[in-house]
Amino acid sequence: MDTARPGPNANTLLPVCIIGAGSSGVAAAKALKEKGVAFECYEIGSNIGGMWRYQNDNGRSSAYRSLHIDTSRKNLGYSDFPIPDHYPDFLSHFEVLEYLESYAKHFEVMEHIQFKTRVERIEPKDDTWLVTLGDGTQKRYRAVLVANGHLWDPRTAQFDGHFNGEQLHSHYYKTSEPFKDKNVLVVGIGNSAVDIAVDVCKGAKSTLLSTRRSAWIMPKYFMGYPMDQVSSYIARTFRLSTRRTRSIMQRLAYLVTGDQTRFGIPRPKHEIWREHATLSQELIPYCGHGWIRVKPNIKQLLGTHVQFEDETTEPVDVIIQATGYKTTFPFLDRSLFEVKDGKVELYRRMLPVDLPGLYMVGLVQPIGPTIPLVEVQARWLASVLSGETTLPSRSVMQEEIKTHNDEIARQYVGSARYTLEVDFRTYAKQLSRDMQSGVAK
């Protein structure tokens, strides 16, 4: 029988469990608290912040010492807690963490978080969720909100041949010091790959950046203003779609940098709206100075050298793979739920249809800012769990999932990188409409 999935579990006397206390987890905690929904939050580390806590003792942070966020200050923060003007346009990870700590303290969610507590397993049991903690304690919850992040389990590429030097994933990169006077090859051309290449090249003997399909390189500034603020202004003023806005931004970027192929960066075969463009103010001038050279995909490893698909060979001491991450839930049996084959089967990017009471927070990669988007997700979930918003039937949710995944397949380049992609404006409006009407559709 195709019945509507309930919002709050029938056993509403039980609290809600939140796993993780990064930007998504603290937003979820704040939203539930405001709706009067009882909850408990578990964090494996000793403090909040998730990936934004450099060298986090939870072992999950991918932050490197030089990391700065790519969303400008005015677009970055939670809607009801603006980032103070004394912060720079683009915050470092230290400053993002400081902001998150201020947010959690201001809204008094810290006391609801149990630190240094590992969640070993979660499983559905008798219309509730049974949560097993690291010390063996078991507790029942009406629902579980998973906010453990998706940028911590490295995904690596495999290449033919053998390599005598050091290989590591960008997850483990912290500073450029260990790579001084070495021949370094960075694999990938996303934001992390470019950041690391820029960081390393200042002290390395040589720095190469290897890419399969290249990417559109966008500067962070246009005429002295952060690019994302210019983009927001254009979209808002002329009421343009994200696709049209990005095409315009590509032309503006050309006015700043010119033709990127002049600097050895291949022109992608796909349009800019089919990818998550790479933001960097430094890559193009560093390529222009010869500090970074861009190479095609690796053909084979040759001991102390690497051969590329253009048949050139270069000496390499270290390979840093900035090749993305697997989406992993170590506490959830894979027979219940997993992300595979480049698809995420989640209604509204949060709900597994066949697992009532399980919700994912922050499992998105938006065209736009992440923190404001996970805030909207958190408010939507709090609205559902408080009974203010009702969910549709199973068949409606399945159709919504199919429609979304078909759209992703049509719009974006076929890559695991775009598994979690959403358009910020479209998605946020969709969730807001659900909350305003009281009925998700």
pLDDT at 160: 98
What's the token pair of residue 37? 């929904």
Is the pLDDT assigned to residue 413 strictly greater than 90?
no
Quote the pLDDT of residue 5: 52
CA 94 remoteness from chain centre: 18
- For residue 8, pLDDT beyond 70: no
Q: What pLDDT is attached to residue 2?
A: 55
As a whole-number percent, the residues of the chain with pLDDT over 70 amount to 97
**Does the structure show a pLDDT above 60 at 1?**
no
- What average pLDDT does range 401-409 have in this prediction? 92
The overall average pLDDT reported for the chain is 95
| Least confident stretch, 248-257, 282-291, 314-323, 415-424 | 415-424
pLDDT tens-place string over residues 186-236: 999 999 999 999 999 999 999 999 999 999 999 999 999 999 999 999 999
Alpha-carbon distance 222 to 182, whole Å?
Answer: 34
Between 6 and 276, the more confident residue is: 276
* Secondary structure (H, E, C), 269-308: CCCHHHCCCEECCCHHHHHHCCCCEEECCEEEEEECEEEE
Q: For residues 44 and 116, is the Cβ–Cβ distance under 8 A?
A: yes
Strand partners, 359: 145
Domain 156-321 in the same topology as domain 16-153+325-437: yes
Does the pLDDT value for residue 431 go beyond 90?
A: yes
Q: What is the mean pLDDT of residues 271-282?
A: 92
- Residue 411: per-residue pLDDT: 87
User: From CA 22, how far away is CA 63, in angstroms rounded?
Assistant: 13
What's the chain's length in residues? 441
pLDDT at residue 414 in the model:
72
Residue 340 has what pLDDT? Answer: 78
DSSP state of 335: T
Quick check: 7 pLDDT over 60?
A: no
Residue with tokens 């963490």: 97
Query: What is the average per-residue pLDDT within 28-50?
Result: 98
Q: Which residues does residue 183 pair with via DSSP β-bridges, in sequence order?
A: 206
For the chain, helix (H) and strand (E) counts, in that order, are 10, 25
Residue listed under structure tokens 């190479």: 295
Q: What is the pLDDT of residue 11?
A: 63
Q: Which of 337, 430, 329 is nearest to 379 (CA)?
A: 430
Lowest mean pLDDT among 30-44, 62-76, 194-208, 407-421: 407-421
What is the rounded average pLDDT of the residues 255-281?
94
Q: Nearest 10 degrees: CA dihedral of 281, 50, 61, 115?
A: 160
With tokens 């199919």, the residue in question is 402
At residue 9, does pLDDT exceed 60?
Answer: no
- Whether the predicted pLDDT of 3 surpasses 80: no
- Burial annotation 116-127 (CB, 10 A radius, 16+ → b, else e): ebbbeebeeeee
- Determine the pLDDT at residue 342: 63
Question: Predicted confidence band at 152 (pLDDT cuts at 50, 70, 90)?
Answer: very high
Neighbour count for residue 262 (Cβ, 10 Å): 11
Tokens of 160: 């033919």
Beta bridge partners of 231: none
Instruction: Determine if residue 182 is left, alpha or beta; phi over 0 gives left, psi from -120 to 50 gives alpha, anything else beta.
Output: beta
* pLDDT, tens digit (0-9, with 9 covering 90-100), for 341-388: 667 899 999 999 999 999 999 999 999 999 999 999 999 999 999 999
Selected from 3.90.470.20, 3.50.50.60, 3.30.1360.170, 3.40.50.2300, the CATH number assigned to the domain covering 16-153+325-437 reads: 3.50.50.60
Which of 204, 205, 216, 207 shows the shortest CA–CA distance to 187?
207
Q: Would you kindly state where each structural domain of the chain is located, as residue ranges?
A: 16-153+325-437, 156-321
DSSP characters over 226-255: EHHHHHHHHHHHHT--HHHHHHHHHHHHHH
pLDDT tens profile 101-137: 999 999 999 999 999 999 999 999 999 999 999 999 9
Residues in a beta bridge with 140: 130
User: Which CA distances in Å does 134 have to 49, 128, 162, 214, 306?
Assistant: 21, 20, 39, 43, 44
Look at 3-7, 194-198, 262-266, 302-306 and tell me which has the smallest mean pLDDT: 3-7
**Residue 93 φ/ψ region, left for φ over 0, alpha for ψ in the -120 to 50 degree band, beta for the rest:** alpha
CATH fold for domain 156-321: FAD/NAD(P)-binding domain (3.50.50)
Task: Give 419's pLDDT tier (boundaries 50, 70, 90).
Answer: confident
Maximum Cα–Cα distance across the chain: 67
Q: Which of 144, 140, 182 is nearest to 14 (CA)?
A: 140
Buried b (16+ CB within 10 A) or exposed e, 368-395: bbbbbbbbbbbbbbbbbbbeebbbbebe
Q: Which pairing describes strands 305-308 and 298-303: parallel, antiparallel, or unpaired? A: antiparallel
Phi and psi at residue 279, to the nearest 5°: -100, 125
